[in-house]
Amino acid sequence: MTYVIGPGCIDVLDRSCVDVCPVDCIYVGERKSYINASACIDCGACEVECPVSAIVVDRRARGDETLNAHLEDSRAFFLEVLPGRDRPLGDPGGALPTGEIGVDTPLVAAHPKRNGGLP
Amino acid sequence: MSTPTPVSADVLVVGAGPAGLYGAYCAGFRGLSTVVVDALPQAGGQVTALYPEKEIRDVAALPAVRGRDFVAALVEQASAFGATRLMGRRAVRLEHRDGEPVVTLDDGTVVNARAVVLTSGIGTPTPRPLECGQEWLGTGLSYFVTDPRAHTGRDVVVVGGGDSALDWADTLGPIARSVTLVHRGAVFRGHAATLDRVRAGRARVHTETRVTALEGDLTAGRLAKVRLRARSGEETVVAADHVIAALGFVSDLGPLRDWGLTLRGHTVAVDRSMRTNLPRVYAAGDLAGYEGKVRLMSVGFGEAATAVNHVAVDLDPGLSLFPGHSTDGP
């Protein structure tokens, strides 16, 4: 089980979730953050922290076409080779020591730009 | 510095979360002397750290119980047979001497155990670092307040948005010369009543603000000021003798990664008796991994009982695996 960050995060990238994750499993891309499902302990600390309510538990995401696409996309972020990199991220063992990744999956990169970030 | 007195026990339980506390009860029931260690000062593991005020509804016979009350009951049960708790100390080394485990804690205490049960869940918590000023750690920067009186008459900056940050801002309010509370987010996560007290007190509160620099005489270890930048771009400089960064904890497997245990992702591989690959070393609860694992407390309790009863037979092969019924006791 895991939580997933939906499209609400794109161009907001508040990072409050990153600050509260007790296992440091939320990685920051260029326009969105991604949860590493293989490390997520399903505690839900991030869900309540998100200022735009972009985070949901996977059980709920599966019932929604867009959120489900982002659930799959979060897996892709770690398992597939991101643009400009030569191997998949895999399970890097912690977002803090790894640093911000700075690139997004093709799905997120193709998302229309949103201006202004937080309302 | 003097070396702490070594401790001996039949069973050493590493991790005072639900699985470890219940394991300590099970060990006591079998007449095994038991020591429980935990890196944090409070028992309860993830329940205490992540959801002390939430209601737990998936433990058998407890339709709804508040996290805090649940932990108190587990501690009471674990203490029934006089288990020794060594809190605020982390297990850093595991060796074997004459086939029996020897665990060293970070304060130098050596625990000679006849068996070890690892119930350290998601692992060792370490404070989340402040994004700047690491070079001040130990002089102008700390992650804990060990003695609030040490801050008497000083300018203190507390960073964070959770309960610890609020508690320390609240506690230091009347003692320090000034208290500045800095939080990166807009909303505090901590207890509303504590926040009200902090806001009503003398503390200056900066939300949506980050600490960008710690400045002073580093060689002399004298911090002088802290630079802040708000989301709006506005910069503030505040006088500071000390910064307390209460940014929560990040947990990972920590030292046990180097103990020669067979790992399975973020868990330690166990067999059906909860044995790890190392002699007399068991694992239970969230830390224990195997095919088909369901990560729930109710499962962890069962695993702790399985581990401890196998320990009992390991230590005295004449015993039966079944511990007997608790209803038969005095």
pLDDT at A85 over 90: yes
Q: What is the pLDDT of residues A51-74, one digit of tens each?
A: 899 999 999 999 999 999 999 999
Environment class of B194 (CB within 10 Å of its CB; exposed 0-12, middle 13-18, buried 19+): middle
* Pairing relationship of beta strands B34-38 and B7-14 according to DSSP bridges: parallel
Environment class of B272 (CB within 10 Å of its CB; exposed 0-12, middle 13-18, buried 19+): exposed
pLDDT at A46 over 70: yes
CA distance B80 to chain A (A): 30
Residue B251 to residue A22, Cβ atoms within 8 A: yes
CA distances from A28 to A99, B178, B183, B213, B232 (A): 8, 35, 20, 23, 22
Which chain B residues have a beta carbon less than 8 Å from that of A49? 185, 189
Instruction: pLDDT band for A119, please (50, 70, 90 cuts).
Output: very low
pLDDT at B328: 84
User: A31 and A10 in contact (C-beta within 8 Å)?
Assistant: yes
User: B38 and B15 in contact (C-beta within 8 Å)?
Assistant: yes
Per-residue tens of pLDDT for chain B, all 330 residues: 578 899 999 999 999 999 999 999 999 999 999 999 999 989 999 998 888 878 999 999 999 999 999 999 999 999 999 999 999 999 999 999 999 999 999 999 999 999 999 999 999 888 899 989 999 999 999 998 888 999 999 999 999 998 889 999 999 999 999 999 999 888 888 888 999 999 999 899 999 999 999 999 999 999 999 999 999 999 999 999 999 999 988 998 999 999 999 999 889 999 999 999 999 999 999 999 999 999 999 999 999 999 999 999 999 999 999 999 999 866
pLDDT at B144: 83
Global ipTM: 0.80
Size of interface A-B (CB pairs under 8 A): 54
Closest CA in chain A for residue B266: A39
Closest CA in chain A for residue B249: A22
What predicted TM-score, i.e. pTM, was given to this entire model?
A: 0.84
Beta-bridge partners for A36: none
**Which residue has 């850093």 as its token pair?**
B92
Rounded to an integer, what distance in angstroms lies between the CA atom of residue B309 and that of residue B119?
A: 15
pLDDT at B185: 85
The answer to whether residue A117 neighbours chain B at the CB level (below 8 Å) is no
CA distances from B293 to A44, B213, B298, B306, B330 (A): 20, 46, 12, 15, 36
From chain A residues 61-100, the ones with a CB under 8 A of any chain B CB are 91, 93-94, 96
Beta-bridge partners for B55: B66
Nearest CB partner across the interface for A96, out of B185, B250, B295: B250
For A103, residues 6+ apart whose C-beta sits below 8 A from its C-beta are: A29, A30, A82, A83, A84, A85, A109
The answer to whether residue A39 neighbours chain B at the CB level (below 8 Å) is yes
For B295, residues 6+ apart whose C-beta sits below 8 A from its C-beta are: A41, A42, B286
From chain B residues 145-164, the ones with a CB under 8 A of any chain A CB are 161-162
pLDDT at A93: 87
Which chain B residues have a beta carbon less than 8 Å from that of A93? 252
pLDDT at A1 over 80: no
Nearest CB partner across the interface for A22, out of B49, B161, B189: B49
pLDDT at B1: 57
Nearest CB partner across the interface for A16, out of B49, B185, B266: B185
Mean pLDDT for all residues in chain A: 92
Residue B185 to residue A22, Cβ atoms within 8 A: no
Residue A91 to residue B265, Cβ atoms within 8 A: yes
Q: What is the pLDDT of residues A24-41, one digit of tens each?
A: 999 999 999 999 999 999
The answer to whether residue B264 neighbours chain A at the CB level (below 8 Å) is no
Residue B266 to residue A20, Cβ atoms within 8 A: no
